[in-house]
Amino acid sequence: MEASKNSSGAGPGGARKAIRAAETMKRIMAGHFEGLERAARDGGRKVAWCTSVGPAELLRSMDFEVFFPENHAAMIGAQRTAADFIPAANAAGYSPDICSYLTSDVGAFLKGATPLEKAYGIKSVPRPDVLVYNTNQCRDVQEWFSFYARRFGVPLLGVTPPRSIGEVTPVFIADVAFQLKNLVGPLESVSGAKFDLDRLRETLKLSLDATLLWEDVLNLGKVIPSPLTFFDAAVHMGPIVVLRGLKSAVDYYQELKAEMQARVRDGIAAVEGEAVRLYWEGMPVWGKLRPLSELLQRLKACVNASTYCNSWVFPDFDPFQPWESMAYAYTKIFIARDETFKEEYIAGLAREFGIDGIIFHEAKTCPNNSNTRYGMPQRLKSVRGIPSVVISGDLNDLRCYSEEQSETKIEAFIEQLSGRTERGGAR
């Protein structure tokens, strides 16, 4: 998770323009991991492991330190060490075809390694006291957390909402709210503290404030030229994933928003001479953020919208109806919806963000977040006139990604789009 060292913002040679708030982000993320390490070492506060769209607010309100294995796995991807670890998980029976977050994280654990060491000097993941998942995103997280529950001999708790849904009905919300409330008793047994509804409301309010600020930041991508790219957002989404429910996330996104607003005021473009605007659909290729970003900078193409970074925008959190609003917010997420909803959502964002075309990333080991497999690119083109290109790759397993092939495809796509925008076609 790197940022350009060029503080002038000039971004020579295709480098990403530096964002000053990155320093604050590094500090608060380091503080987060040090807090986890302290809790695990001293046995003070209990440690809960949570999925990235799991009930973090509930856990924080019950005074747990919260660790997110997906964030940990993305760090492995960003450090480009997944291939060192995946075979160890394969040898333990976890298929090369399943989520490479899971296999690289489990493999790293089996080999006694962690990306936290290189990033923060922390030698191991914090031992969990409880593991809490939400299968709203996929079933892999359940299997992933089950592995650790067996290894550590600690309780495994979960919420299993409906998936592939169109409308989020009151029945679904009641079901998920019921499941969330049912976590309280077992969590009290682990933490030894009583659940406090007011604490949950306060935590949810902090989460709401942070998520709305994050949404504001992403929405600045609608400005022409855009002050930020998907690659910036993929780096700066760290706090909304791992620190939501804490004041530090609210403060951080205030700072980031102010910096991006200043860019808009001063006419500073994230991509010098922005000529083409793109939508990134699917997971990031974590180990290739920099070369992809640099390629697109050179081509004067700005990826100013994505589904992925919007996945942590939860405007429906309501501190006055904490259970129902959490149930609704965590069940209505994009990844849990049917094709009709997804098509409408992508087309809507493409319109709002003035998109010329879409780059679909088909991630080999994450069918859940690859929307290329049931005719979506073709429908968006034929019904809505939105062109796209599909690149094959993976979130972590770079053996599934051909840099040369992807770059050639992207270059050809942008050339084609540039012709359209010059002729005034797409926008």
330 part of the interface to ligand SF4, by CB under 6 A: no
Which of the ranges 118-126, 137-145, 185-193, 413-421 carries the binding residues for ligand SF4, by CB under 6 A?
137-145
Q: Where are the beta strands (DSSP E) in 237-381?
A: 276-281, 301-306, 357-363
- Nearest distance from C-beta of residue 277 to ligand SF4, angstroms: 26
Position among 141, 177, 180, 285 found at the interface with ligand SF4 (CB under 6 A): 141
Q: How far apart are CA 82 and CA 87, in angstroms?
A: 9
Q: Does 187 bind ligand SF4 (CB under 6 A)?
A: no
Query: Could you tell me which stretch among 170-178, 301-309, 347-355, 363-371 binds ligand SF4 (CB under 6 A)?
Result: 363-371
Residue burial 252-261, b: 16+ Cβ < 10 Å; e: rest: bbbbbbebbe
Residue closer to ligand SF4 (CB basis): 323 or 360: 360
Choices 10-18, 202-210, 341-349, 365-373 (CB under 6 A): range interacting with ligand SF4: 365-373
101 binds ligand SF4 (CB under 6 A): yes
CB 144 to ligand SF4: min, Å: 7
In angstroms, the CA 78 to CA 1 distance is 6
Report the residue from 61, 114, 135, 137 that binds ligand SF4 according to the rule CB under 6 A.
137
Strands 276-281 and 65-67: unpaired
Q: Closer CB to ligand SF4, residue 309 or residue 366? A: 366
Quickly list DSSP for 34-81: HHHHHHHHH--S-EEEE-TTS-HHHHHHTT-EEE-HHHHHHHHHHTT-
CA distance 337 to 102: 22
Between residues 52 and 248, which has the closer beta carbon with respect to ligand SF4? 52
Q: Using an 8 Å Cβ cutoff, are 220 and 232 in contact?
A: no
- Cα torsion through 371, 377, 380, 381, rounded to 10: 170
Work out the number of other CB atoms within 10 angstroms of the CB of residue 100.
32
Would you count residue 140 as binding ligand SF4 (CB under 6 A)?
yes
Applying the rule CB under 6 A, the residues between 277 and 296 that interact with ligand SF4 are 283
78 touches ligand SF4 (CB under 6 A) = no
Count of residues in contact with ligand SF4, rule CB under 6 A = 12
* Footprint on this chain of ligand SF4 (rule: CB under 6 A): 70, 99, 101, 137-138, 140-141, 283, 366, 368-369, 395
